[in-house]
Amino acid sequence: MRPVRVVSLSFYPCSHEKIAPLVDAEGSGGVDLLVLPETWTGNEPEQLDGPAVTAMVTMAKKHRMYIVCPVYRLVSGQRLNSTILIGRSGEICGIYDKMYPYWDEFNLTPPARPGTKPFVYETDFGKLGLATCFDANFPEVWQGLADAGAELVVWSSAYSGGRTLATYAIIHHYYIVTSTWTRDCLVYDITGDILMDERSEDVNVSRIRLDLDRGIYHVNFNTDKLEKLLQEHGGDVERERYLEREEWFVLKAKHPGVSVRELARTYGLEELREYIRRSRREINQMREGGI
């Protein structure tokens, strides 16, 4: 098991003075990752030492949690739609600059400048990827997150997303958690299924616990290995789900301290994402070789 406690706050942009007490209250309950929506303080750019970012740095340090804090910022006179990842000690772990700003963002003064690459950071609970709003329409962003090994992707946005995000979750087999202006939160499983769909008239607060150790596998080349794994470690792991039409199965650990993904690797089971990568790589090699 590799549990992570996630809180998503969804609300229309407002002052940090209104939101900081909510962040404080949620953090006091025990949180690993708290997520805020896109440019949650509005259109006015802020530096890393600005009031909203500083308030979230204080909360992250106080409650020993990661915070996803998206704001506009100015870099060399240019506007970036930036998602700042704040670590448990209040440090800036990294910054993702939105790769595909929405059209209205180019009409701001100064206009938004597109970011250049996806962002994945290895936290103490797993590999966390970030994406923002209009990025949902561009598959290369989500492929880049998968290529970098993302296990959980946070999508901060001005709108809800919906089916598009389910597509990426089912293709790339990572969790997706949203935080939106539209006061709703959707959480997608590694199978693409919706684990949570909550909304509110005011600030929506969604809480969920995810296990990043769960793995998804194709039956191809794995059936005999799975049988042996379950015979020898049935008390520690289980086949949580079998998706008959896709011919996939999901494995999970039964107890804390057990990693089903590590055990599966020792038995030679290949995770679905890697199976597809290997298939693409080897078939392309055959194609290039004229076979």
| pLDDT tens series, the chain, 291 aa | 999 999 999 999 999 999 999 999 999 999 999 999 999 999 999 999 999 999 999 999 999 999 999 999 999 999 999 999 999 999 999 999 999 999 999 999 999 999 999 999 999 999 999 999 999 999 999 999 999 999 999 999 999 999 999 999 999 999 999 999 999 999 999 999 999 999 999 999 999 999 999 999 999 999 999 999 999 999 999 999 999 999 999 999 999 999 999 999 999 999 999 999 999 999 999 998 865
Q: Quickly name the fold that domain 3-211 has.
A: Nitrilase/N-carbamoyl-D-aminoacid amidohydrolase (3.60.110)
Report pLDDT for 289. 81
Instruction: Identify the residue whose tokens are 């799975």.
Output: 226
CA–centroid distance for 110 within its chain:
29
Residues constituting the chain: 291
pLDDT of residue 290: 64
Helix (H) / strand (E) element for 177: namely: strand 175-180
Helical segments of 9-101, H only: 16-28, 51-63
Compute CA distances 146 → 95, 138, 172, 190, whole Å: 18, 14, 6, 12
pLDDT of residue 18: 96
Q: For tokens 């936290």, what's the residue? A: 123
Distance CA 45, CA 60 (A): 21
Taking the C-alpha atoms of residue 14 and residue 127, their distance in angstroms, rounded to an integer, is 30
Q: What is the reported pLDDT for 131?
A: 98
**Torsion region of 183: left, alpha or beta (phi above 0 gives left; psi -120 to 50 gives alpha):** left
| Distance (Å) of CA 211 to CA 5, 18, 152, 203 | 9, 31, 10, 26
